[in-house]
Structure 1
């Protein structure tokens, strides 16, 4: 009887410890455009078989684009890109048929200058 209950306990534990499968991958971008001359983090989440979402990295995904170069999850663009938008494709390494595509525009206008901080101005209390 102890042997049977031990085997049942082991089987139940093994079933509950099975790795979660990735059912879907999805872009979850923090911005609506890419910046020139910098690393642009491309955030991708995966929906697991238990319904939870988990961030994905280059360990699970293959990143490719029609312009620029990937460094991990970051797309690196030159200071003066020759294109106005970039098409990005991600695919799951364990299942290359699971892919997502997105086109992201490159920001064209420069950032405005930061406001100057006056050292003589009184400090606000918190």
Structure 2
């Protein structure tokens, strides 16, 4: 009887913990992407140099005349756009490549929007 109760509890807890882990992993990656975009903006503004974030098929790269950082997307993720795959800002912090990016995960979809003439961007869940 005790083993049956433990088996039932474990069969409930294991799928719950894996879904929580996937959700945490998605949130962690999105926060890292937002932080990296803000890093590109801040470095461009403070140093007056061209910093850029390039979205690739399975990773993104941060450049300033050389590769600074490369970050792999989690398995099953993709980032698509109909515009330039380069995110960069002017020295006043305004986005030089406005548009929308579509982030698809195995569980959810997000939209990352860079408004025209604005310095801030936002991410919403679809």
TM-score by length of 1: 0.38
Question: Which one has more relative contact order, counting CA pairs under 8 Å at least 6 apart?
Answer: 1
- Structure 1 or 2: larger helix share? 2
TM-score norm. by structure 2 comes to 0.38
Q: Between Structure 1 and Structure 2, whose CA radius of gyration is higher?
A: 1
Q: Which has the higher strand share?
A: 1
